[in-house]
Structure formats: C-alpha cells, structure tokens
Structure 1
Amino acid sequence: MFTGPFLFHSRVALLNVVDVLFFVPSLTLLTRALVSGDRKLLLDPWLAPLYAFLGWTLLTMLWAEDVNASRTVRAVVQVVILVGMLRWLHLYYRNTLKLSLANGAMTAMVVLAVIMVSYYTIQPLDSPLFSEPASLIFNLPQPGPLISTMGLVAPSFILLAQALDEGFTPKGARRGAGALVGFTFLVAVQPHTGIMLLVMALGWVLLRLGQRLLAALAGAVALYLALDFEVLRQAQMYFSHPIFGNGFSQEGGDSLLEGIPEGLRVLPHPNNILLAVIHSTGLIGLVLFLAAWAVPAWNLPDSDQKHREGAVFLVSLLPGLLTMLSAGAYLLVPFHPSWMCLWLPLGLMLASLSARDTRLPPLR
C-alpha cells in the first residue's frame, strides 16, 4: 500500500496486487473471525457514523448523474475490510502491526530516495519534483504531485511518531531518517502542502514535549496553509443542492458533475474534501462524514501513557484531513493513494479503540 503508487504504472495492476495481497486474505480472515464470535470487530458502536456515511453515499447514487455503481460499491467494501482488518490486527497482534507499519513506511522511503536521486541527476535541483518528464532508473513511474502528496502523508508521520517513541537509539535514528526523506520528498513535489505538513510535524513534536500552546499555534498555521482561499471564494457553486447533494457520481480527479435542466454541467474539482462531500452528498453527508472521525476521536483515551502508546495509530489523522483540504481529489474509489490521507488514518484510529474485554476474577 505504501509503495504501490511509486512502483506501478497501471492503476489496474496496483488494484489487482493490493487485492491479492491484502483485501482478499483480509476478507477471509474477517469472515472467520466474525463466524467465531468476534462481531465487535465490525459491529462496534463507534463504527456507526462511518457506516451511516457510506450508506448515505450509496443512497445518493439514486439521483446522481453518470453513476459507476460497481466501482463505488467495491470501494465501500474495501473501506469496511480495511477498518475491520486493522482492528483485528490491533486486537491480537498490536506490536506486529506497529512493526509492519514501520517496515512498509521505511520501504516506501527507500523507493522515494531512489526516485529523487534518479530525477535530480537529470533535472535542475531547483525544479519541483515531477514538474518535467524524466526517465527514472528501474523505469519507476512518475505519479505526479497530487497523488504523491496524498500517498505519503501516513508513511511520513508514522515514521515520525515511531522515531519519537524510540528516542536516541539506532532504531529511532533510522525511523527519523526515513521521516526526513518523506518530508523532503513532500516539499520537493508540492512545496506549499509539504511546508504545511512540516508545520504539522513540528506541532506533533511540540505536543509530545508538553508544549500544548505552541503545538496549537502550529496547528493553526498549518490550517491556514491548508486552505485554498481562491476555492473558498467560489464555494457557492458546490452548494447547488445543499441538503441532499447532487448525488455521488463517477469520481474524476479534475471535475465534478452537476445536473441542470439542459443536461450536465462540469465543475472544476475543488480539491477540498469537504466541498466535494457537500456537492455530492449535501449537508447530510457532511455531518455524517465529520461524525465518522469526531465520534471515535471523542472516545480516545487521554492518559499520557495511552497517548504515547497509540501515537503511531493517531499521528496521521489530522495531517491527512488537512491535506484533503487542498489535495482532496478523491473521496470514495477503490484503493488509491488518497487512502493514505483519508481511510487509512481513520482505520488506524478505529483500530486503536479495539481492545479485549477485561474479565475480573470471580469474587470468593
């Protein structure tokens, strides 16, 4: 998942590989777990807002134009599998899951280092990454700034959290070096968003050092950098049907569809996930979308020990949502680099809420 966008020229090939390596085995394991009685993996009350949003999105396709129902249903099934599988792994193999996240992120950083060295041996050092076509070694693809940015949020912040957890140790140094590669790539490929994510990283470090006020200030600066005010000034065009939305149409990376009496009108995609949600699913969808993140976040443990232990599962949540305010080109499509901003952070947060029930010994 972390390396796929930088290894496959074909999105179809990427989907097939991820299905074979993750979604099909996960569906098998989840089915077995549910049959065995672990129904809370998928029936926990904190999952209700997510299911409500996914269900409402499917319902809006009834009045949408140019619907691709099979693709959307496949995406919904994959989201549910991802959430359920992460919860299963956290419940039974928490340390293995943390190690797997780190290994996957570090593998992605090795690929990024190869890409940067390959690209800048051909192009000037002051040119943004992927701004000009270049023949990369090993015939690696050039996914472009938007996809690269979305695909790197979770790996970079996961390594940052683990580097802080490990401290001044060889393992911590390796994790820190990997995070540095990720943030360097982010700044090189899309400077504005990359700097915003760097500020978020600084805010996380300050929070871990107990500087809550400075961390909040860094978060406010990151929010300011994440907002595209030119798009916000034209936000009214995405409120044509504010309550129920225009319906969830086939998603494209650069446009949204709106039904008008004369036929269809093509709107430029705002690259803002909230405006895209309002356009497609209305204010009802927006409330459900926000609740899917806010409701489980409200239930997170607040003790320092739990906060540190669960950092790797929570660290990419806010950076991912902020990135989707300026790079939110996709909402609900089968596995895509945007999942590293949207569905993986949500899945990791929901996983952190899965725990075995504590059974007290019987009183004598």
Structure 2
Amino acid sequence: MQPTERHGRRIWNFRVSREAAERQSRIDLADGDEILLHIKVLTQSERVVINSRAEKGWGKEIGLKVPAALMERHLDIELRQEKDHFLISLPTGDAAPYDRHFDRLLKAQLRLSKGIVHISPEGELDAGALHARITRADIMHVAGEILYPDLRWADPDALCGAQLLLLIDGRLSGSIPLPRPAADRLTPSAEFVIDLDAGAFVSDGMMAEIVLLMGDTRRVLAHSHLRSGFSGAMERCTESIVTGFVCNPDLPRRPVLVDIFLNDAFQATIPANLERPDLAALEAFAGQAGFQFRFPRPVHLPLSMDVKISARIHNTDLELVNSPWWICRAVSMADPLRAGEAAASSAMQENWA
C-alpha cells in the first residue's frame, strides 16, 4: 500500500470503525511470524496501543490517549514516514514516534482486521506517479517490477485498459495488460514478465524499454540493455544425429529454441524440451532441457572436405559449447604430419561421440 505524499513525507491513513475498536481489531505489519508494528484501539481504557512482537515476545508498549467522544463513530489513525522513524498520529494532534524495524516496515505484509480500512487519496490516477525497474532482460523476455503510488491501482476498473509495452531499439516487441498490485503491502507492487513476440528482431546489447500506455499517456518507465545468459552444450554429433542441452536460467521452464546448421547452412529449429533427469538436480535447469536432431539422411562425408555442424540459440549467433563440431576435416596426403594431426583430432571427436 503506497502512501500519499505531503511535503516529501509519505503518509498512510487508516479508519477504525467503532465496532472494530470494540472487538479490539488491529493494524499489523508483519514479516512471517514477527509483528513489526501492532496498532490496536482499546475503547474501554480510551487509548491506542502500539507495540511489536519478535522472537523474544512483545516489546515495550507505547500508548496514546483517545477521548471517548472521538470514538463515537470511528477513529482515524495516520502513519507518517519520517527520516529515521515512523510517526503515529491521532486527530487530536497526539502522536508517538516509532523507530523499531524501520528498514523492514515498508516491505512488511499489511494485515487489517475487519472494520479497518485504508483511506485512499482522492483525485484521478496519476500515470506520472508510477515507477518501474527491470530485473532481467534477454533475447527471450524482459521481467521486472512496477511500483504503484496507492491502492486505487488495484481496482481493475480504474486501469482503463492500461498496458505495458516492450520496445526493443524502438520497435514494439511485446505487450501485456498493466498488472494489478498486491493489496497487502505499505508499498504496493506487481511483478511483470513480457515474452518477446515470435519473430522479433533482437540481439544482445539492444535497448529494452518498458512503456506505460494509459489512455493518451505514453511514458517510459524503465530501460535496460539485453544481456542473455544461456547454459548448454552439444554432447554428441555424428553424420546422423546431434544431441545436447540448453536452458535459460532466468526462464528454466520455458524451452529454448536451437538452430542446427550444416557447414553454416540452416537445417532446422528444434526445442530443447526433452527430459534430462541428470540435469534436474541443477538449480538452473528444470529437467526438460535436452534436444535431439536427426538428419533426414546421413550426411555425406566426402574425402578432402571440411564438414562441421553448429548448434546456436535461435535467431542469434550464440554458439553452444562444443559448437561447431567437426565431423570431417580435409586432409592433404602430401603433408603426412598434418594428416596425422587430423586423424588424431578425428579420433578424439569419435571418442566424444
């Protein structure tokens, strides 16, 4: 849940109904089992209790006096972020500083009991208040996080068909609806993943831009260069078959496409989606990263001719480990020494095969 801002200070406002206060309902900011901030209204003793609970139990209680007349209908509580602490204030002007777990509170989970609501700021949604960051960008996808100014963005009717566009070097290469933020944080956010369109012209080093399209507004939220990090290798290669594995560690469950070439002449594009139990134990792999390609007919291996087979990431010049794989090398019989070296090299590759 993101705050309003006043004079550079971030502010959250909560309204506690009379019924909720009588039930001792609470506002909690939690991290797992720890309650980093606990606010509860006690009508009988006419006070607001502020505390926290960590591994060693409840901390020292902080109290604010609440006149009974102030609780006739509801009580508004303001949470304000200062430089190194939070300030919890009541309409009477009474306030209590709170400096426990300061760095963790903004990322803590917000838990509101029934009858307590967050009061969103009034006015229209401001597209200029959205921020984003790109966490991963490669030739297959771009992923990141959108940071929202307040919880009004969680209402699907308020988004007006807003979209996130992915531009690669200025060309539209993908899009998704603007994701809705989670409603259980002081700072609402939502992760996004945009897959590049099939056939998009991309390569490492190109610039990726995330653009917000909302009504007539078109605004760049974040940008980053594409940097791919594939892991894979050719493992076996003969005149009949090519096998290996490859995976994108950032998208372990999405098969990578592999292009097969014979002497740089394109042969086929195949997905690396075969079961590989031996790779499943590796964190970067999903266990389905193997590939196998069989030539329609065995490759002819003429004398005195180089023959190589290459495996590359689809639509790139990124070669897998062991690529290119030479299955035949030209040998000049007039040079016995070179002939011996070529024979030794051929024998080594046969052992690999």
Q: Which has the higher contact order (CA 8 A, sep 6+)?
A: 1
Structure ranking higher in strand proportion? 2
More helix per residue: 1
For the aligned pair, the TM-score class normalised by the smaller chain equals: under 0.3
